[in-house]
Structure 1
């Protein structure tokens, strides 16, 4: 919940029409619409909760829109609401496009407005006709030393590094603000050598962090690039702190053995505006709601980009170098299925990242690197049938990361389930391979987790470090890590109605419901392993061997979720995009998630790696590009 936004909403912001624009609107030949004058209220479901509005009508126009309740993302969802409300008033139309990056918030407001118009006795369809004739196609042309595509973590730190080195920078962002990226809301980045670590006595060295991550990657990445990104991570975090961000050192939540992850207290636009303002102070420029479409290539050199604004305006930016940092492909289900098969991945993060950056580089002669995966299931499982995942999700989704019995669509076990409890972000790679997977439990286990919590249900095992540090009674309170699933029983009926949960009297009944052909024999085998106290099939930690013995029984159908994707184009250790002959494409760079050569699959086991590497890769790319353009 975004408290600062709620405070502003408590004071209520009101959008008032501009009479002159309204007069122009009605002079354009569109017939006036009659309303029943008065106040009307309506509510619609937004991204983070309900949006409640009140609309004041005269007998001939929409006069005032007041937002009574909203918890939409500060600097993004709330800004979209205000922008749309103003346009509705000014132009007296419901023919308003959703704000890029805040589609759910936009649609919610328009749905509530439609409801109010209906209550006022008018036909909403009449207001959904465009208020103006289509304008002639427009175009804009810009020039810069460097153009950056994507205003996320990598794009912004690249912009700062390049502009500080004297380069003129333009940043294109598909979304409506810098609040759209995962970096705006992520829990925190890894770094080494920061002032905060030194103050707190954390003696993590570059050698230790690099060795840990490089060994985990097992020679599947560009090791030199990883080293370079980590080497600048500490100064990058210090720079962000100097800009005014409230940064602290987080605890080792998963027992990795060191504290590399930092937290940032600000979120959304309140976080990223510090970076944006730094770039603007150095003369940089931002073009929002502007999506990169095609790289401009002349004589084998990338010399700019063709882009398009949300209103259709064509944009050309001529530049000496282009950095692509568009954040992967989480919003492109077709791309995901091409890589992983006909499965569903439920987005938790930025869905404006649709693989456009990767596609543009490939079209310009670049090639893909080899590691493809997702950053998944940190706090729970997911299912599309349950709707958009939020921290306040149906608590029955959380059984997916507790290490109990999990089976595939045939009803067979397929891995050691404790990896989901110990390393949920990287462990979900096995679930990704299956597509759908099912958590199976008996009544005693279900009720115990819902009344005592999973950590106490398993006997408070000290060997389960992630459980002790996140789910024990002594662990810090967290909305993300729910210690006791007190709401799960009351939410069960909804889960069953939505079709991803089932409560059965017998295992045979449960197996039949989800067509889990081998479930009955799997449960029998699993119970025998539990009785023996040893998992002879996958060697799971005995702590998680809990029998499924007495009904009623519960089965939950899950799918993987993802904060972001892994996999992108091949780059060298200077973040230059490489062609099929392993040669750099002059003027073309990739950073962040789009730089496929620095990320491994499964995801690194130290949380915050994607955010931290993205920040570091941006700093590195910005400096290298600035030096490149100076030599031209």
Structure 2
């Protein structure tokens, strides 16, 4: 179990509001790290301000925090001098980051004749997942699925409460199909089949969009093949070589400094620099400055790319860029466990109660709204309830059409499953109000027997009663994958200043970029995150090559 963090410690780590914005550029890197990359020294500025800041965060009271193990921040705040440089390179474009967006940009730029250098902090490319979102692509056409891009964009704008850039959304909707078709042409059959999901579905009045396209061999295979394409077109890929500082002259970005094994490398880029460094989910200082305290009280941090420490965002801010307004948002899922793992996503159908023993949500909600509902409960957690001697049978019913077996589901929860012979015993073990729990379960069983959830509106086929023991509970909170807010951009991925003017020569894509999401990440818009990474990476490569208007 990860070490928890007290409220006072949390505030001391830097949740200081706007007054800390300027200091954050120099202070986001841990002062020292141990062999595992964990921070061993908190921000001194945050510690000094903890007393005066305590009253600013009333919603942080009674919350328990489980910070991720931090990685070392690569960004260097102090100006780098020529005396520190051990190597100087020149190229058309430098791409900082080798995830989905950076690799797509590299493949696109290099195939269109640009000399390209890719700088990656980690020892390999970064990729995860199975789907990429798009509209109007061949995969959807092959499945006779036609989606309304205008309605999709309207949903995205509404989910962000219109605190976003409509033209960025529009560019994605109009060009994502082209980008995916390009990727499929580039990789051929090396990633297996590209198959569109089923069409739209409705849950609690929310449209879950069928925009996702499943890559048979997974997103890592797609990124790997795009990277090979970039290399085949002459791109210079440098792993374990993070970008650390932008080179700026008269307001224009002229290149970037990187840190190699022998020291500082100066790279001059005639066409531009692309920041594709991902988010900052492994930089606790940045998280506590930018994220709602309640959203940070998740139990699990599930992104395997632990090098995501906000380096590109910090470099952009130092060059005068604007970022999305605070608070930023996390891509949070439900089913986070205190072990730091995440339970199977098909657990959504089961009854949930808070620590007061109250049912609080229609369990048919999409991931982002379910996670928000959980995080809003006392203690930012809840309990998932199951019962019966044949737990696999209950899991079989709960999974519906999900592509998992009951055995898969059980394996994901067995280490966090609490068992008791009675509801009173279960309540005592878990710290749930026993009287309320008994009444809640009795009422829920009545609804199950009637075949209609008149209290919350849950679908009839997901009404799974808790009619006999033994009884089981899983303590649950959120599970964070990534941050999704970054530098403000226009539809051409050009980074903007606070006044809205373009920083010439600087571009941002993927989770280093912003301008799309606000309030909550729209999980119901299937695979939109990978979709924006691929699309804007592809388009920025073309733009740098002079192929876009």
Is the TM value for this pair above 0.5? yes
Equivalent position of 1:300 in the other structure: 251
3-state SS, counterpart of residue 123 of structure 2: coil
Question: How is 1:5-84 mapped onto 2 (pairs within 5 angstroms)?
Answer: none
Equivalent position of 1:289 in the other structure: 240
Question: How is 1:64-213 mapped onto 2 (pairs within 5 angstroms)?
Answer: 139-178=86-125, 181-182=126-127, 185-204=128-147, 206-213=149-156
Displacement of 1:289: 0.9
Equivalent position of 1:573 in the other structure: 491
Equivalent position of 1:557 in the other structure: 475
Equivalent position of 1:318 in the other structure: 268
Contact 2:209 2:525 in 1 (8 A): no
In structure 1, C-alpha distance between the alignment counterparts of 2:455 and 2:286, rounded to whole Å: 34
Equivalent position of 2:23 in the other structure: none
Task: Check 1:193–1:546 CA distance in 2 against 1; reply closer, same or farther (3 A cut).
Answer: closer
Q: Return 618-627 or 140-149, whichever deviates more.
A: 618-627
Displacement of 1:211: 4.2
Displacement of 1:605: 0.7
3-state SS, counterpart of residue 402 of structure 1: helix
Contact 1:569 1:597 in 2 (8 A): yes
Equivalent position of 2:292 in the other structure: 340
Equivalent position of 1:73 in the other structure: none
What do the CA deviations read for 1:234-254 (whole angstroms, capped 9, x no partner)? Answer: 222222222234342232287
Contact 1:230 1:613 in 2 (8 A): no
1:510 is aligned to 2:414: no
In structure 2, C-alpha distance between the alignment counterparts of 1:151 and 1:548, rounded to whole Å: 48
3-state SS, counterpart of residue 163 of structure 2: coil
Question: How is 1:223-262 mapped onto 2 (pairs within 5 angstroms)?
Answer: 223-246=166-189, 247-252=193-198, 255=201, 259-262=210-213
Displacement of 1:582: 2.3
Equivalent position of 1:39 in the other structure: none
Which structure is richer in relative contact order (CA contacts within 8 A, separation 6 or more)?
2
In structure 1, C-alpha distance between the alignment counterparts of 2:495 and 2:364, rounded to whole Å: 38
1:450 is aligned to 2:392: yes
Contact 1:400 1:558 in 2 (8 A): no
Equivalent position of 2:374 in the other structure: 431
Figure out how many residues of one structure are paired with residues of the other and give that number: 451
Contact 1:440 1:553 in 2 (8 A): no
Contact 1:216 1:604 in 2 (8 A): no
In structure 2, C-alpha distance between the alignment counterparts of 1:224 and 1:486, rounded to whole Å: 41
Displacement of 1:325: 1.1
Equivalent position of 2:330 in the other structure: 374
3-state SS, counterpart of residue 272 of structure 1: helix
Displacement of 1:155: 1.0
Query: Structure 2 stretches of 5 or more lacking a match?
Result: 1-34, 38-83, 202-206
In structure 2, C-alpha distance between the alignment counterparts of 1:449 and 1:254, rounded to whole Å: 31
TM-score (norm 1): 0.63
Equivalent position of 2:53 in the other structure: none
In structure 2, C-alpha distance between the alignment counterparts of 1:582 and 1:327, rounded to whole Å: 22
In structure 2, C-alpha distance between the alignment counterparts of 1:330 and 1:617, rounded to whole Å: 21
In structure 2, C-alpha distance between the alignment counterparts of 1:594 and 1:418, rounded to whole Å: 32
Query: Structure 1 stretches of 5 or more lacking a match?
Result: 1-96, 100-136, 390-396, 458-466, 471-477
Contact 2:145 2:199 in 1 (8 A): no
Displacement of 1:275: 1.6
Q: Return 154-163 or 195-204, whichever deviates more.
A: 195-204
In structure 2, C-alpha distance between the alignment counterparts of 1:561 and 1:332, rounded to whole Å: 16
In structure 2, C-alpha distance between the alignment counterparts of 1:224 and 1:399, rounded to whole Å: 33
In structure 1, C-alpha distance between the alignment counterparts of 2:277 and 2:144, rounded to whole Å: 36
Structure 1 outlier segments of 4+, above 6 Å: none
Contact 2:129 2:220 in 1 (8 A): no
Contact 2:386 2:394 in 1 (8 A): no
In structure 2, C-alpha distance between the alignment counterparts of 1:519 and 1:294, rounded to whole Å: 56
Equivalent position of 2:281 in the other structure: 330
Displacement of 1:590: 1.0
1:469 is aligned to 2:401: yes
3-state SS, counterpart of residue 503 of structure 1: strand
In the alignment, which of 299, 305, 312 is matched to residue 357 of structure 1?
312
Task: Check 1:312–1:549 CA distance in 2 against 1; reply closer, same or farther (3 A cut).
Answer: farther
